[in-house]
Structure 1
Amino acid sequence: MIVKKLAEVFNTKHDVHGETWNSRRLLIKSDGMGYSMTDTLVKQGTETYIWYKNHLEACYCIEGEGEVELADENGDKTGEVYQIAPGTVYALNENDRHFLRATTADLRLVCVFNPPLTGEEVHDEDGSYQVIE
């Protein structure tokens, strides 16, 4: 059995900070679950371009409000916008390119990735994570 507490991740190498987000990696590849789980904060008033071309991701909002806007193959906004609020889940089941915005407060999401993250990834220039073996 694996038991972890969010507080145990703070200020470790699995407490990963980006310019617009902070991802606390709760379950990672080495835990052997076949997926990873994060507790992620997206800073209020920010917009982040993301394209997880190497991962599938599902996010469940537990705090704050925001929106996801889909992007086309060039990374341009499509105008297709989905509102995110507590109790909302969104799944990027087609490696969807998108913009994530936190609107009313910091947006807090529980995110699951497949394949699992190792715990130290940050977005590269095209908004994705590399698969680390």
Structure 2
Amino acid sequence: MTVRVQPELFDAGAELNRFAQGRSDVGAVVSFTGVVRDTDGDLQEMQIEHYPGMTESAIAKIVQEATTRWGLADALVIHRYGALKPGAPIMMVATASAHRAAAFEAADFLMDYLKSRAPFWKKEITTAGASWVAAKDADEDALKRW
């Protein structure tokens, strides 16, 4: 299990290759990479803040829960913070398990958690000004599945 919270850009392809390299004990490796979305065409940057130590601990706890619940062989979560431009990778989840259903479900669970419960604060800087990103009902509803 690996959890990294970092300001640096990551290469999702290289991360996935490292994660899956030499794995003959699993039948499925699933990954997802989230990018900064510019919904209205006026986003200049997304500023992401967190509390070092607390954030990593909270994410590690939920990754451990996913690992136990779905019997994962391994899991990777990378989440960036700082000022990110539209189109930049913001986070990545990878899971490895004996079977694809477990790998997909665990990855989906982790993504829902990261979107709604991980201790990050996001501020959008647009041409009109800055505003904090509020929780969305759809994201909260997604958590109810788990």
TM-score bin (small chain):
under 0.3
Greater percentage in strand: 1
Larger Rg: 2
Greater percentage in helix: 2
TM-score of the aligned structures, taking structure 2 as reference length: 0.24
TM-score of the aligned structures, taking structure 1 as reference length: 0.25
